[in-house]
Amino acid sequence: MNILTRHFNYILVGSICIIIDVNISNATNGKGLNLDLINDFLGASLIFVGVRYLLLNTTSTSQQYYSYLKTALYAASISIYFGALDFFVFPQPSWFIILNMFLQLFVIYGAIAFCKAMFILTDHAEDFENRNRWKTAQSLIIYLTFIPYTLILINSIFELTESNMYIDLSARWALYIILLLSIPFIYFIWVLYKTKQHIKQV
């Protein structure tokens, strides 16, 4: 098996683990433990390993490629933190919630950076079809995830500070928002798979 294919497998499986999130919670009075049947900690760890291997074992004439992968690696390490945090259920103060939302925003930016790195990698490999797909994935994450999540973050700050500018989002709208945010990452996983298949055939 091509060594690059193995690296992509780590990222692919890790991404699927994060998308498919089933958990069991055992909490009393806002405190307790949370058990993910398919845990984000595992998924984030696999992504971290895959991105790190890519950083160490791929070559590019573009310094931006390495810069983007390093950003993705930092984002993956933060995702590991979120995965570990998911094990525990406890009351979270407002500042802690806002801090984590900013960190989550950086994780999303890390996905954008990874798309940019893959654009450079596939362009260098003259895999123009997947190069264009990575460009599309990047745009989807920016417009359907990063920007909406930024607005949600701002709205959450208004809510936590009890500002009159806060917009109350009902559970129904929240579901639509979650589905909207998920679309780019489903496409991301598909492009990751297609890129892996192309590398496997080379």
Looking at residue 143, the DSSP 8-state letter turns out to be: I
Q: Token pair of 80, please? A: 């590991």
pLDDT exceeds 80 at position 167: no
Confidence of residue 32 (pLDDT cuts 50, 70, 90): very low
Q: Quick one: average pLDDT of 30-51?
A: 74
Q: Token pair of 47, please? A: 């992504």
Mean pLDDT of the chain: 84
Let me know if 38 is exposed, middle or buried by CB neighbors in 10 A (0-12, 13-18, 19+).
Answer: middle
Q: Quick one: average pLDDT of 122-138?
A: 95
Q: Quick one: average pLDDT of 40-61?
A: 89
In the sheet that holds 88-89, the strands lie side by side as 23-28, 31-36, 88-89
pLDDT exceeds 90 at position 69: yes
What is the identity of the amino acid at 104? Q
The region of weakest confidence among 71-80, 104-113, 167-176 is: 167-176
Task: Give the pLDDT score at 28.
Answer: 44
Residue from 9, 10, 12 nearest 200 by CA: 9
What is the identity of the amino acid at 77? S
Task: Give the pLDDT score at 25.
Answer: 41
pLDDT exceeds 70 at position 53: yes
Task: Give the pLDDT score at 27.
Answer: 40
